[in-house]
Amino acid sequence: MEKEVFYNSDLHFEHKQWLRELSFWEDELKSFKNRLSDLVTRWTDKNMLAQLEQYQNQFIIHAEVIDRMQDDINVHETNIAKHSKKGKDMLDVILVKKHIEFRDRLETQRQIYSELKKGFFRFLSKYM
């Protein structure tokens, strides 16, 4: 059985992709928060405002997750750069394991974020 080889350049490329995706999510969250601000001025219904507050809290939590993930990517990038400076183009098992774990974390977050967006769009269609 042949082992898969992970090169620094491949992981760096994937990191850049992830950072762009997280940046996009940040921009979307800003837009969603603006929508919430619009709704707050239009509605006085307590049930609706409670739902609105739940979305606001979820957006705050998701923004914090994005920040942590961006920090984690940057730390991993620094480790890759140190590895590259030593003249090693392939990563050791520990760094590759961390990369794969992060890939799984990001995939889980994609699913969570997707469900959040779907629910929010249903909420908007009901109250906009």
**Residue pair 15/71 in contact by the 8 Å Cβ criterion:** no
Highest mean pLDDT among 4-8, 58-62, 74-78: 58-62
User: Which pLDDT score is estimated for 88?
Assistant: 61
Measured CA to CA, the distance from residue 62 to residue 115 in angstroms comes to 12
Question: What does the chain come to in residues?
Answer: 128
User: Which pLDDT score is estimated for 92?
Assistant: 66
Place of tokens 């705050």: 60
User: Which pLDDT score is estimated for 64?
Assistant: 97
Residue 104 neighbours by CB distance under 10 Å: 10
**Residue pair 57/32 in contact by the 8 Å Cβ criterion:** no
pLDDT tens figures, 67-121:
999 999 999 888 877 777 776 655 567 778 888 899 999 999 999 999 999 999 9
User: What is the value of pTM for the model shown?
Assistant: 0.85
Q: What is the mean pLDDT of the chain?
A: 88
Which among 5, 8, 6 has a CA at the least distance from the CA of 76? 8
Domain definitions of the chain by residue range: 8-127
